[in-house]
Amino acid sequence: MIMNSSVSAPTLSIRRFQWNDLETITTLMRELNYPTTLSVMRERMQDMESSPLHCTLVAEVDGIVVGKISLHHIVSFSRCEPTTQITAIIVAKEYQGQGLGKRLIQQAEDWSKGKGSTLLFLTSGNRVERAPARAFYEHIGFIKKGYRFSKKL
């Protein structure tokens, strides 16, 4: 007996943000407890998308947006070379642990190098629920260094 079974693997693609991604991106931000609304995200994305110093990439699995990474290219007095900050990285809970975060980081590295950056960095909260994210960052080569100080204005 001949069986004709075809199994296809999910297709992952990483691409630049498009405006029809806005609602899904807003949902992803809320999933990680970032309080936001669709109108607030629209304003933020308009500011970022009009700047060559910012880049937002999305991860799609079979045409469905399941992750994002946002980047900010920085030139400062503290370093001779430009740097890139990851301002947000999110993978939908049901897709975590499948390599999507690592692929987003790889694409971020490529974009950053293209801008002349020699350092990619991010900040992460110290809340208990963020421990898996911090472990992920260290697992893929980020080094914990220093403290973050902030002051509400």
pTM: 0.86
Sequence spans of domains, the chain: 12-139
- Residue 95, sorted as left (phi over 0), alpha (psi -120 to 50) or beta, turns out to be alpha
**Residue 89 β-bridge partners:** 69
pLDDT tens, 46-88? 999 889 999 999 999 999 999 999 999 998 877 788 999 999 9
The CATH fold of domain 12-139: Aminopeptidase (3.40.630)
Q: What is the pLDDT of residues 80-125, one digit of tens each?
A: 889 999 999 999 999 998 999 999 999 999 999 999 999 999 988 7
Of the candidate ranges 64-68, 91-95, 141-145, 148-152, the one whose mean pLDDT is the lowest? 148-152
